[in-house]
């Protein structure tokens, strides 16, 4: 079968661009050329949610300056291992997408309105790609650092008019029989936390699933049973908080979940497909939280190593590494002390979320100043401390946390930090930038230098020679 023609008539990578990515980016290694024409048995699709290009750049700068090494993502470029492109991330309703529409572009192959999952502008349902691969006999799974029912994993798996229907999505996964699902979101499975008191865990167990709750459970997985791993209420903790808290050591890293998922599915005769998402990179960008952002991006980078270690040995796996959209567009700012300032982020002991949520309305100015010195190793003025404290006057107890980032002083504190770390942000929301995309393995030679997000759906089908007839 001629893989170049069997999807003839699809919208795969259409347009006027005809440049060969081998020529554009100088990729000519024998290893990469050896994949040409080979069918991908497996696909691992990696998404650092909300990763602006500045996030990728700063993570590599931090890794080089503080850890003394290039990131695994940058090494793919430096070692000439990956095809590379820019990707347009728009949705059907805006040049700036949300995660649901973005994931649906990958998952369903069509652009949908922000907020929906594989439900078109006229109500039509687009079959998600992990269901397509399940119908062809492959195993399928998702792992994430946010709730497993969140928009990005759901976009590869289900149809839903509303991304917020996470209790329903939790039930859909069991009905569809996905093989490995790991992340947070206990409140959508636990009868004590669901509004309808339904025991969704019991529904999974009835279908033969093993339920994982702690990091240690990853070491005792039955290879013959599907897996549901739910390791937290809500999202998993930020990496930079987890690294400094003994209480959070029972939560797995993204790399650990990725390895467990690969090990669980890698011996399947028909192959497997796996989505791996660093979901809290997006949350950190929303909060202009530089420590949270960099350490969760570096955690994603450790998952890249796990994936590449497997893929380079396996030779039959297409690896896709990208983001669904930019967010907040952080970047380093010119100045005489820019390098020193940026490197000072290594002294931060926690995320801004932890720091700000532990300031109380009855703090005095000195307590705020001491708390910031303790956790960020720099001093603020009385005026700055007073500005921060003003945000807490009249704040209700249930108004704490990330999704109240416009009530707590996330933006104000990031502006104070900017004077000391030389990192600026353009907003606290998604952006419409073209984003970075890398591919390795069989099918990577199909990548053109500039693509739309929907193109990846059809590229995955072509790389595996799965015809788009469902």
One domain, residues 400 and 448: no
% of the chain residues with pLDDT over 90: 85
One domain, residues 411 and 446: no
Q: Output the average pLDDT for the chain.
A: 92
Q: Per-residue confidence at 402, pLDDT binned at 50, 70, 90? A: very low
- Three-state SS for 350? coil
One domain, residues 274 and 411: no
Q: Per-residue confidence at 453, pLDDT binned at 50, 70, 90? A: very high
One domain, residues 150 and 228: yes
DSSP state of 287: T
Q: Provide the CATH number for the domain around residue 243.
A: 3.40.720.10
Angle at alpha carbon of residue 440, lines to 436 and 441, rounded to 5°: 155
User: Residue 413 domain-assigned?
Assistant: yes
Q: Each residue of 454-467: pLDDT tens digit?
A: 999 999 999 999 98
Question: Cα separation of 386 and 411, whole Å?
Answer: 15
- Report how many domains make up the chain: 2
pLDDT of the residue at 206: 97
User: Residue 1 domain-assigned?
Assistant: no
Contact in structure between 140 and 178 (CB atoms under 8 Å): yes
Contact in structure between 146 and 184 (CB atoms under 8 Å): yes
User: Residue 144 domain-assigned?
Assistant: yes
Contact in structure between 107 and 129 (CB atoms under 8 Å): yes
One domain, residues 411 and 435: no
pLDDT of the residue at 373: 98
Question: Cα separation of 146 and 182, whole Å?
Answer: 9
Q: Per-residue confidence at 166, pLDDT binned at 50, 70, 90? A: very high
Number of continuous H segments (helices) and E segments (strands) in the chain:
19, 14
User: Residue 14 domain-assigned?
Assistant: no
pLDDT of the residue at 36: 83
pLDDT of the residue at 34: 77
Contact in structure between 368 and 380 (CB atoms under 8 Å): yes
pLDDT of the residue at 29: 60
Select from 337, 340, 299, 365 the least CA-distant residue to 51.
299
Taking residue 364's Cβ as centre, other Cβ atoms within 10 Å add up to: 10
DSSP state string for 130-148:
HHHHHHTT-EEEEEEEEET
10, pLDDT greater than 50: no
One domain, residues 156 and 301: yes
User: Residue 252 domain-assigned?
Assistant: yes
Question: Cα separation of 466 and 469, whole Å?
Answer: 9
Question: Cα separation of 413 and 356, whole Å?
Answer: 9
One domain, residues 216 and 320: yes
User: How far, in Å, are 96, 98, 114, 403 from residue 326 at the CA level?
Assistant: 9, 10, 15, 18
Strands (E), 317-387: 317-322, 326-327, 331-332
% of the chain residues with pLDDT over 70: 90
One domain, residues 246 and 208: yes
Q: Each residue of 420-430: pLDDT tens digit?
A: 999 999 999 99
Q: Each residue of 287-327: pLDDT tens digit?
A: 999 999 999 999 999 999 999 999 999 999 999 999 999 99
User: How far, in Å, are 62, 63, 237, 350, 439 from residue 244 at the CA level?
Assistant: 18, 18, 11, 7, 34
- Cα 107 from chain centroid? 15
User: Residue 412 domain-assigned?
Assistant: yes
One domain, residues 286 and 301: yes
Q: Each residue of 28-74: pLDDT tens digit?
A: 566 667 788 899 999 999 999 999 999 999 999 999 999 999 999 99
Report the half-sphere exposure of 300 (CA within 13 A, side-chain side).
34
Residue range(s) defining the domain that contains residue 293: 21-330+429-464
pTM: predicted TM-score of the whole model, two decimal places: 0.92
pLDDT of the residue at 5: 44
User: Residue 69 domain-assigned?
Assistant: yes
One domain, residues 269 and 353: no
One domain, residues 252 and 192: yes
One domain, residues 79 and 158: yes
Q: Each residue of 378-393: pLDDT tens digit?
A: 999 999 999 999 998 8
Q: Each residue of 120-155: pLDDT tens digit?
A: 989 999 999 999 999 999 999 999 999 999 999 999
Select from 159, 155, 177, 156 the least CA-distant residue to 168.
159
User: Residue 420 domain-assigned?
Assistant: yes
């Amino acid at each position: 079968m001629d893989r170049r023609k069997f999807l003839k008539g699809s919208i795969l990578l259409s347009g006027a661009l005809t440049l060969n990515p081998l020529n554009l980016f100088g990729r000519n290694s024998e290893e990469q050329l050896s994949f040409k024409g080979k069918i991908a048995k497996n696909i691992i699709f990696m998404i650092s949610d909300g990763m602006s290009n500045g996030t990728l750049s700063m993570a590599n700068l931090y890794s080089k300056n503080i850890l003394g090494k290039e990131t695994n993502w940058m090494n793919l470029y430096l070692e000439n291992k990956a095809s590379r492109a820019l990707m347009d991330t728009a949705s059907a309703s805006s040049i700036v997408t949300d995660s649901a529409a973005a994931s649906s572009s990958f998952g369903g192959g069509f652009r949908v309105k922000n907020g929906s999952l594989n439900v078109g502008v006229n109500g039509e349902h687009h079959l998600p790609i992990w269901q397509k691969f399940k119908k062809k006999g492959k195993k399928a799974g998702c792992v994430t650092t946010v709730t497993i029912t969140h928009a990005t994993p759901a976009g590869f798996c289900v149809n839903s008019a509303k991304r917020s229907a996470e209790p329903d999505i939790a039930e859909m996964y069991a009905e569809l029989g996905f093989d490995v699902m790991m992340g947070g979101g206990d409140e959508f499975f636990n009868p004590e936390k669901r509004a309808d008191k339904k025991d969704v865990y019991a529904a999974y167990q009835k279908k033969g699933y093993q339920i994982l709750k702690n990091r240690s459970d990853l070491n005792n997985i039955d290879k013959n049973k599907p897996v549901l791993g739910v390791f937290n209420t809500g999202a998993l903790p930020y990496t930079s908080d987890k690294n400094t808290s003994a209480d959070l050591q029972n939560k797995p890293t993204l790399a650990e979940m990725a390895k467990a998922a690969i090990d669980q599915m890698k011996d399947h005769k028909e192959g497997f497909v796996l989505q791996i998402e660093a979901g809290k990179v997006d949350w950190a960008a929303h909060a202009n939280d530089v420590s949270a952002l960099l350490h969760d991006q570096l955690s994603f980078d450790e998952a890249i190593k796990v994936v590449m270690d497997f893929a380079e040995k396996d030779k039959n796996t297409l690896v896709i590494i990208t983001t669904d959209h930019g967010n907040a567009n952080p970047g380093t700012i010119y100045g005489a002390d820019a390098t020193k300032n940026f490197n000072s982020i290594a002294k931060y002991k926690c995320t801004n979320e932890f720091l700000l949520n532990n300031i109380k309305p009855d703090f005095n100015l000195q307590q705020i100043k001491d708390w910031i010195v303790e956790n960020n190793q720099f001093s603020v003025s009385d005026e700055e401390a007073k500005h921060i404290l003003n945000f807490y006057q009249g704040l209700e107890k249930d108004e704490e946390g990330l999704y109240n980032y416009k009530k707590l002083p996330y933006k104000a504190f990031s502006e104070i930090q900017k004077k000391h770390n030389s990192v600026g942000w353009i907003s606290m929301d998604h952006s419409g930038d073209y984003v970075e995309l890398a591919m390795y393995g069989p099918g990577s030679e199909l990548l053109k230098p500039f693509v739309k997000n929907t193109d990846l759906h059809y590229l995955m089908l072509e790389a595996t020679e799965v015809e788009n007839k469902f």
